[in-house]
Chain A
Amino acid sequence: MSRPTLHRLLHLPSSLRTFSVLSRPTPNYPSHVPLTPLERASLAITSAFGSLLNPHRHDLIAALGEATASPYFISRLHRAMLANPTGRRILRERPRITSKTMRLEELREYPENSVGRAYAEWLDREGVTPDTRDGVRYIDNEEEAYVMQRYRETHDFTHAITGLPVIIEGELAVKAFEFANTLLPMTALSLVAFVRLKKAERARFWSVYLPWAVRNGLKAEEVVNVYWEEELGTDVGVLRGRLGIEVPPDLRGIRKREREERKRERGVREAEGRAAERNGEATG
Chain B
Amino acid sequence: MSSTLLFRKQLFQLPPALRKSLFSTASTITNPEIYDVVCIGGGPAGLSLASALRSNASTKRLRIALVDSQGLNGGKSRDDAALYSNRCSSLTPASVKFLKECGVWEKVEKQRVQNYHGMEVWDGVSGSSISFDPLDATSGGGLLDAVGELVPGNRFTASRRKYEMGDANMVATMCENQNLTNALLEHLRTLGDVDTFDRTKVDSIQLGPEPVDEKSLNLSQWPIASLPNSRHLAARLLIGADGANSPVRNFAGITSEGWDYNQHGVVATLRLDRTFNPEDLRTAYQRFLPSGPIALLPLPNNKASLVWSITAPLAAKLKALSPQDLASMVNAAFRLKIADLDYFLKHLETIDVADELSWRLPNTSPTATGLPSSLPTVTAVQEGSTASFPLRMRHASTYTGHRVALIGDAAHTIHPLAGQGLNLGLADANSLAQRVTYGMEHGMDIGSAWCLDGYNGDRWAKNNAVMGVCDKLQKVYSVGSGPVVWARSLGLGLVNRLGPLKGTIMGAAGSA
Which A residues lie at the B interface, using CB under 8 A? 2, 4-5, 8-9, 78-79, 82-83, 85, 88, 91-92, 141-143
Any A CB within 8 A of the CB of B17? no
Q: Is the CB of A5 within 8 A of B143?
A: yes
Q: Is the CB of B365 within 8 A of A141?
A: yes
Q: For the complex formed, measure the closest distance between the CB of B290 and the CB atoms of chain A, giving whole angstroms.
A: 13
Given A92-B359, A142-B363, A143-B363, are A83 and B339 neighbors across the interface (CB < 8 Å)? yes
Q: For the complex formed, measure the closest distance between the CB of B224 and the CB atoms of chain A, giving whole angstroms.
A: 62
Which residue of chain B has the shortest Cβ distance to A81 in the bound complex? Answer: B339
Could you say which residues of chain B place their CB within 8 Å of the CB of A4?
A: 146
Which residue of chain B has the shortest Cβ distance to A78 in the bound complex? Answer: B339
Q: For the complex formed, measure the closest distance between the CB of A248 and the CB atoms of chain B, giving whole angstroms.
A: 32
Could you say which residues of chain B place their CB within 8 Å of the CB of A5?
A: 143, 146-147
For the complex, give the distance between the alpha carbons of A104 and B143 in Å: 66
For the complex, give the distance between the alpha carbons of A78 and B338 in Å: 12
- The interface bits of chain B over 366-381 (1 if a CB of A lies within 8 angstroms of the residue's CB, else 0) are 0010000000000000
For the complex, give the distance between the alpha carbons of A84 and B290 in Å: 20
Residue of B142, B143, B147 with most chain A CB atoms under a 10 A cut-off: B143
Q: Is the CB of B146 within 8 A of A82?
A: no
Interface stretch among B208-216, B266-274, B340-348? B340-348
Q: Ordered nearest first, which 7 A-B pairs have the shortest CB separation? A: A79-B339, A8-B143, A82-B339, A5-B146, A143-B363, A82-B340, A9-B143
Could you say which residues of chain B place their CB within 8 Å of the CB of A142?
A: 363
Q: Is the CB of A85 within 8 A of B347?
A: yes
Residue of A2, A8, A85 with most chain B CB atoms under a 10 A cut-off: A8
State how many residues of chain B have any CB contact under 8 Å with chain A.
Answer: 14
Q: Besides A5-B146, A83-B342, A91-B363, 16 other CB < 8 A contacts? A: A2-B146, A4-B146, A5-B143, A8-B142, A8-B143, A8-B146, A79-B337, A79-B339, A82-B337, A82-B339, A85-B347, A88-B343, A141-B365, A141-B368, A142-B363, A143-B363
Q: For the complex formed, measure the closest distance between the CB of B358 and the CB atoms of chain A, giving whole angstroms.
A: 11
Could you say which residues of chain B place their CB within 8 Å of the CB of A85?
A: 347
Could you say which residues of chain A place their CB within 8 Å of the CB of B347?
A: 85
- CB-CB contacts below 8 Å: B129-180 with A: 142-143, 146-147
Which residue of chain B has the shortest Cβ distance to A92 in the bound complex? Answer: B359
For the complex, give the distance between the alpha carbons of A36 and B347 in Å: 39
Could you say which residues of chain A place their CB within 8 Å of the CB of B147?
A: 5
Sample of 6 A–B contacts (CB below 8 Å): A8-B142, A79-B339, A83-B342, A83-B343, A91-B363, A143-B363
Q: For the complex formed, measure the closest distance between the CB of A82 and the CB atoms of chain B, giving whole angstroms.
A: 5
Which residue of chain A has the shortest Cβ distance to B497 in the bound complex? Answer: A13
Q: For the complex formed, measure the closest distance between the CB of A147 and the CB atoms of chain B, giving whole angstroms.
A: 12
Could you say which residues of chain A place their CB within 8 Å of the CB of B142?
A: 8
Which residue of chain A has the shortest Cβ distance to B341 in the bound complex? Answer: A82
For the complex, give the distance between the alpha carbons of A142 and B365 in Å: 10
Could you say which residues of chain B place their CB within 8 Å of the CB of A82?
A: 337, 339-340, 343
For the complex, give the distance between the alpha carbons of A24 and B343 in Å: 35
For the complex, give the distance between the alpha carbons of A4 and B363 in Å: 40
For the complex, give the distance between the alpha carbons of A2 and B339 in Å: 48
Which residue of chain B has the shortest Cβ distance to A143 in the bound complex? Answer: B363
Which residue of chain A has the shortest Cβ distance to B360 in the bound complex? Answer: A82
For the complex, give the distance between the alpha carbons of A141 and B366 in Å: 12
For the complex, give the distance between the alpha carbons of A82 and B342 in Å: 10
Residue of B147, B337, B347, B363 with most chain A CB atoms under a 10 A cut-off: B363
